[in-house]
Amino acid sequence: MQQRRTPGGQRPVRRPTGRPGGARARAAVRDSGVRAEPRAGAARARGAEGVRSANRPAAARRTAASGTIKRLTAPHPRRFTGRATVLFAVLIALALAYTYPVRVYLDQQVDIERMQASQAAQRQEISRLSAEAAKWRDPEYIKIKARERFYMVPPGEVPVIVLNDPEGAARDAAAGRPKAPPKTPDPWYDTLWSSVRAADDDQPGQ
């Protein structure tokens, strides 16, 4: 071991003894210990994952079994949902909105049909009156109507009127016959004597 002399009477500085790579070895040991702990933790994690992976098939089977059961039992649908309620309200609003226009349209169709029927009847009446007016333009037709209605004939012609009235003929025949004189009543004494004689006839044994 060598000692260095220092100026000023100070003690010589001793150089540390030991292996030259001791500090490095201790540092390496510390580093290896620190690194070994994560490696051990990783090994334990891999072991736990292996156990979990070994247990996973059973859990997967249970999950699959429960999933099939859920598929078989279908949930009961609700009768009225919010969307169905909104749709129903919209349909009612549309029906109420279209009710009045449809009723007005139907009333107008009825009025149109009534007016068309009235116009057809008026056309028929106009055609009949036009034909009647065309007849009155004929002089012969005018003479015939004057003879029928007013018994007017041209000069030198004798009209013959035929009456077809059986009841009136019988009434006129009865009126032409002479009436019988009214019968005078019998005197009171003749009536009294007749009643006495009738009483005597009712009693034949006396």
> Where exactly are the structural domains of the chain?
31-72
- DSSP helix/strand/coil, 95: helix
Q: Are 159 and 147 contacting, i.e. CB atoms less than 8 angstroms apart?
A: yes
Spans of the chain below 70 pLDDT: 1-80, 175-186, 202-206
Cα–Cα distance, 191 to 197 (Å, whole number): 10
φ, ψ for residue 19, nearest 5 deg: -70, 140
Q: Six-digit token pair at 1?
A: 């071991």
- DSSP helix/strand/coil, 106: helix
pLDDT computed for residue 117 by the predictor: 96
Could you report the per-residue pLDDT of 29-60, keeping only the tens digit for each?
Answer: 454 444 444 455 555 555 555 545 444 555 55
pLDDT computed for residue 60 by the predictor: 53
pLDDT computed for residue 28 by the predictor: 47
CA torsion 35-38-42-44 (nearest 10°) is: 120
Q: Six-digit token pair at 169?
A: 């003929």
pLDDT computed for residue 154 by the predictor: 85
pLDDT computed for residue 148 by the predictor: 87
Cα–Cα distance, 26 to 23 (Å, whole number): 5
pLDDT computed for residue 190 by the predictor: 76
pLDDT computed for residue 161 by the predictor: 80
